[in-house]
Amino acid sequence: MTDTLPEDALPEEALPEHALLEIEDLSKSFGGVRAVQHCTFSVGAGQVVGLIGPNGAGKSTVVDLVSGFGLPDSGSIRFAGQQVAGERPDVIARMGLIRTFQTPREWRNLTVMDNVLLARCQFSRESLWRSLTQAGRIRRLEEVDRVAASEILERFQLDALAGERAGMLSGGQKRLLEFARIAAAEPQLIILDEPMGGVNPVLGARIGDAVGQFAADGRAVIVVEHNLPFIERTCHQVVVMDLGEVIAQGPFAGLRENPRVLDAYLGMDQSHE
């Protein structure tokens, strides 16, 4: 059963006027293991939602199901008004949902610039026929894209590394590249799977700023994270999961007093206080 906090407790900006993502009664089992059970929550445009819970709570499974990397057993996932449960990940990505993974997955033997250009998702230019017949036109369009990509790289202080292979970057720079790729993709919904993993505090602050900027641009963001101070600082709403179920949702401050949340998760880490 889900403990939902009274809505008057939520900050005004946290209320999704029109939910961009609506997850309803989502379930998924792996053999006898019920990874996700009757999961329901929604995310609105411009909202940052934290998805927290102990290891094995089902957070990453939810992310996989929403982004098309898994097939739900039952339930509904509506993104931008369309049912996407069971769709291929590339189809969902083309609709405007971009996700990251727990470890940065850069295209390591491509340059930093090419990583960003690929993220801009100009699919029509990747036609085999057009590549052969309209090479000059594509090259001119690429030049325009390159300027935009350079500005994004500059914003994330990666511009000096544009020509380097992405695999040569440090761990922190790979995280920044991940955010540069998201910025280039201009998605409606961003799912960040543990963006603070292995990140130093200074870089963490910049990642927090980037998340805030995405929301300020009107994008919805879901953050799966164990770093609770980060969640508290960046998220309008928090969804807490345990043993595959959503056990509570609401603003972070309200969850501190929720006994189920304290028992399942928050009690395990009070270091931020």
Q: Which residue has the tokens 């026929």?
A: 129
Distances, alpha carbon 270 to alpha carbons 22, 59, 135, 155, 197, in Å: 31, 21, 58, 34, 18
Least Å from the CB of residue 224 to other proteins? 15
Cβ nearer to other proteins, comparing 1 with 202? 202
Closest to other proteins by CB, 74 or 133 = 133
Nearer to other proteins, 28 or 175 (CB): 175
Nearest distance from C-beta of residue 155 to other proteins, angstroms:
6
Q: Distance between CA 192 and CA 189 in Å, rounded?
A: 10
Query: Nearest approach, Cβ of 160 to other proteins (angstroms)?
Result: 4
DSSP of 49-116: EEEE-STTSSHHHHHHHHHTSS--SEEEEEETTEE-TT--HHHHHHHTEEE--SS----TTSBHHHHH
What tokens appear for 107 in the block?
Answer: 């295209």
CB-CB contact of 172 with 206 (8 Å): no
Structure token pair of residue 68: 């098309």
- Closer CB to other proteins, 25 or 126, in the complex: 126
Distance of closest approach, residue 229 Cβ to other proteins, in angstroms = 13
Residue (89 or 251) nearer to other proteins, CB:
89
Q: From residue 123, how far is each of 75, 84, 99 by CA, in Å?
A: 31, 20, 18
Residue closer to other proteins (CB basis): 8 or 143: 143
Q: Which residues bind other proteins (CB under 8 A)?
A: 67-69, 88-90, 93-94, 98-101, 105-111, 113-114, 117-119, 121-123, 125-128, 131-132, 135, 138-139, 142-143, 146, 150, 154-157, 159-163, 165, 169-170, 172-173, 176, 179, 181, 185, 200-203, 205-206, 209-210, 213
Q: Given the complex with other proteins, which of 156 and 252 has the nearer CB atom? A: 156
Least distance in angstroms from the C-beta of 150 to other proteins: 5
DSSP 98-164: EE--SS----TTSBHHHHHHHHT--GGGG-HHHHHH-HHHHHHHHHHHHHHHHHHHHHTT-GGGTTS
Compute the least distance from the CB of residue 6 to other proteins, in Å.
33
CB 60, min distance to other proteins, A: 13
